[in-house]
Amino acid sequence: MVNRTKEADSKIIGLLMQNADLTYKEMANRLKLNESTVRKRVLALQKSGIIRRYLVEVDTEKLGYKTNVMLGLDVDPSKLMEIGKKLIAIPETRMVYNTSGGNDFVLVVWTKDREGLGKIVDHISSFEGVNKVTPSFLVERLK
């Protein structure tokens, strides 16, 4: 029973990650499960914190954001939390990740144009403790 529940949960999560607008009935039909089972599993996944929230994928160009980039930041370790707080306060930062490996932070930034991007990069570069800002233009989302 536990393995079947885990398998159903995994399939439900997969469907919701592809399209969070699916109804319980649509998911049940695709998974060949009872609608009530799907509803109970989704509610259990929400209650347990596995499903935390539903997000919207937007067409940034239709909103007027022509320049979408990922910024990799290298920062002074003693300033990590302070810089993180400043980064999340910038309206153009849509995602901010504290990472290990090549960068200390990776940000997704939307701007109307390259001039706006330049201003954001200059602003972030001015933070005390920011050692390096490396932009990478987002060309196409594949998944």
* Integer CA distances (angstroms), 38 to 1, 27, 41, 85, in order: 15, 7, 5, 39
pLDDT, tens digit (0-9, with 9 covering 90-100), for 116-134:
999 999 999 999 999 999 9
Q: Are residues 132 and 78 in the same domain?
A: yes
Q: Are residues 82 and 125 in the same domain?
A: yes
Q: Are residues 105 and 71 in the same domain?
A: yes
Is 102 a domain residue? yes
Is 83 a domain residue? yes
Residue 22 lies in domain? 2-47
Of all residues in the chain, the percent with pLDDT exceeding 70 is 98
The CATH number of the domain holding residue 29 is 1.10.10
Q: Determine phi and psi for 70, rounding to 5 degrees.
A: -105, 135
pLDDT, tens digit (0-9, with 9 covering 90-100), for 76-110:
999 999 999 999 999 999 999 999 989 999 999 99
Look at the chain and report how many structural domains it folds into. Answer: 2
